[in-house]
Chains A and B, each alone.
Chain A
Amino acid sequence: MNINEYETTCIFQPEITEEALARITTRLEGVIEHFEGQKLAFEDLGLRRLAYNIQRFTRGRYLYWQYLAEAPCISELERIIRIESDIIRFLTIRMDEHVDVKDYQPLLQEQQEPEVSTDTESASSDVSTDSAHGDSE
């Protein structure tokens, strides 16, 4: 079967606990692993202001994954996402089709190594910049 490159962004409701977040994150990554997909990147984009209210929430916690997987993985992943009520919005995009896993070796190796904490730095700065709003005059 064909391997594609995907990106998924999930918006969690703002009051979610770190434990619940970790639980869902491992669950979703477990699905990717189960379907023999490979994670390329993960980013916690932090709490951001929503451009419009979703289920009466004005802010949301954005998490982002980039990974290689086959198509059936996506339907299972999205099924799980739909069940989780803490995820208020998600979007999966196929970035590339029929990819060759060999082309991704450098990125994959990077993921094997222990995480360097550059992600958390950018996440905290995003909260204050608040780019998703500001033309309400």
Chain B
Amino acid sequence: MQRTRRASRRKICRFCADKNVKIDYKDPKLLRYFITERGKIVPRRISGNCARHQREITTAIKRARHLALLPFLAVE
């Protein structure tokens, strides 16, 4: 098996690119983009968010979970 490191293009943070998009815990549609189908938060290296926006996403997801807008754990 060949182990080649994929030269991944650096993703740009979509919240830095579009300043109009607000991160809101009441918006599960947007947040759903940053969780796996299992319900886990997608890491920054995959989502491509910058540190600041990833942090905001993380708190928003946790708040949304408390309000049952997002699952803690989605059963497959």
Contacts and interface: CB of A to CB of B under 8 A. Distances in A.
Interface of A: 9, 11, 45, 48, 50-52, 54, 60, 62, 64, 89, 91, 93, 131-132, 135-137
A135 B71 CA distance: 10
B37 interface: yes
B72 interface: yes
**Nearest 7 pairs of A and B residues by beta carbon:** A50-B68, A51-B71, A135-B37, A51-B68, A131-B29, A132-B69, A131-B28
A136 B70 contact: no
Interface stretch (B1-9, B10-18, B48-56, B59-67): B59-67
Contacts of A137: 76
A54 B28 contact: no
Chain A binding surface, main DSSP class: strand
Interface residues of B, number: 19
B74 interface: yes
A68 to B, nearest CB: 19
A11 B68 contact: yes
A27 to B, nearest CB: 21
A132 B28 contact: yes
Interface of B: 25-26, 28-29, 32, 37, 63, 65-76
B17 to A, nearest CB: 24
A18 B67 CA distance: 21
B74 A91 contact: no
B63 A91 contact: yes
Nearest to B29: A131
Contacts of B71: 51-52
Contacts of A52: 68, 71-73
B26 A64 contact: yes
